[in-house]
Amino acid sequence: MTKSRSTNPDEALQKMRKYCAYQERCHQEVRHKLIALGMRGDTLEKIVGQLIEEGFLDEERFARSFARGKFRTKGWGKQKISQELKQRQIGSYLLNKALDEIEEGEYRASLQNLLEKKQLSLLTYPEAEQKIRLFKFAFQRGFEADLIYEYIPQFFDNTQF
């Protein structure tokens, strides 16, 4: 049976520097990782403070990077990005700054492109069913309902949704 070895604070700090240097992290992720390393209380908070001081940990930088990344690589809408940032305990001020990273024209073009691609896979369904499926698809990706309603009619001869 292997004996688990507890990490000392200096080792934990070094591990967390590498962890944060590899990819942007939020405070919640770092705290969970430190707890897994056996850090608690004041020791944990001192390490988090040190990481912030040294520039390894920055909640605003994380939120902005997260929003840009999820929008550009996964095609997520603002609603889904917002929900994920809230789960990571990002405050509303930083959440709004993060969403500002997404340019409105690029956002709309992304929704348009997403709907166009999805509609091609729905051509065998009746028009009403296509509209419902397009809406559900875009809504699940995190796009706002009013924006989806604005775009769906352009894919059909009958412009009502």
Average pLDDT, the chain: 92
Q: Which residues contact 54 (CB under 8 A, 6 or more apart)?
A: 17
The per-residue pLDDT for 161 is: 55
pLDDT of residue 157: 75
The pLDDT of residue 3? 41
Determine the Cα–Cα distance for residues 145 and 135; give it in Å rounded to an integer: 8
Determine the Cα–Cα distance for residues 45 and 47; give it in Å rounded to an integer: 5
Q: How confident is the model at residue 158 (pLDDT cuts 50, 70, 90)?
A: low
Tell me 23's DSSP state. S
Q: What predicted TM-score, i.e. pTM, was given to this entire model?
A: 0.87
- The reported pLDDT for the residue numbered 138 is 97
DSSP 55-116: TS--HHHHHHHHHHHHHHHH---HHHHHHHHHHTT--HHHHHHHHTTS-HHHHHHHHHHHHH
CB 54 within 8 A of CB 93: no
Using CB atoms within 10 Å of the CB of residue 51, give its burial: 0 to 12 exposed, 13 to 18 middle, 19+ buried. buried
* Higher local confidence (pLDDT), 3 or 81: 81
pLDDT digits (tens, 9 = 90+) for 42-83: 999 999 999 999 999 999 999 999 999 999 999 999 999 999
Task: Provide the percentage of residues in the chain whose pLDDT is more than 70.
Answer: 94
Please state the rounded mean pLDDT for residues 107-124: 95
